């Protein structure tokens, strides 16, 4: 399944995720699939393999991995109560354009570069 944005941190810090169907490990095919998906994204979910994230440094990539894991836990819990509330494209765009969110992301970047 896919992990869709359900809360502002996902939108602001991850953006959208790439998804790759199962590909044999350690192959050029998997490398190409990752390369194609990661171009404009901060993370990729690979069926049967797990998640891959990128960042300006190891700390930022690790934080994004933690956010994907937390999002998966929230999604599983939310599905136990029905259909989870997924943020619309419009809501995601509004979150990205908030001055407060832009400021918060600058603070996070400064902290990650320490």
Per-residue pLDDT tens digits for 97-107: 988 888 888 88
Q: pLDDT (tens digit, 9 = 90+) per residue, 24-73?
A: 999 999 999 999 999 999 999 999 999 999 999 999 999 999 999 999 99
Residue (of 102, 110, 86) closest to 12 by Cα position: 102
* Global confidence as pTM: 0.85
CATH of 8-112, one of 3.40.225.10, 3.90.550.10, 3.30.9.10, 3.30.360.10: 3.40.225.10
């Amino acid at each position: 399944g896919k992990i869709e944005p359900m809360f502002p941190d996902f939108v602001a810090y991850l953006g959208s995720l790439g998804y790759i169907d199962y590909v044999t490990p350690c192959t050029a095919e998997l490398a190409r699939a990752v390369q194609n998906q990661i171009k404009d994204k901060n993370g990729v979910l690979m069926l049967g393999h797990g998640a891959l994230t990128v960042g300006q440094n190891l700390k930022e990539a690790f934080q994004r991995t933690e956010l994907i894991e937390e999002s998966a836990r929230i999604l599983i819990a939310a599905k136990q109560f029905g259909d989870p509330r997924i943020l619309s494209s419009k809501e995601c765009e509004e979150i990205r354009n908030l001055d407060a969110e832009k400021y918060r992301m600058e603070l996070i970047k400064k902290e990650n570069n320490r």
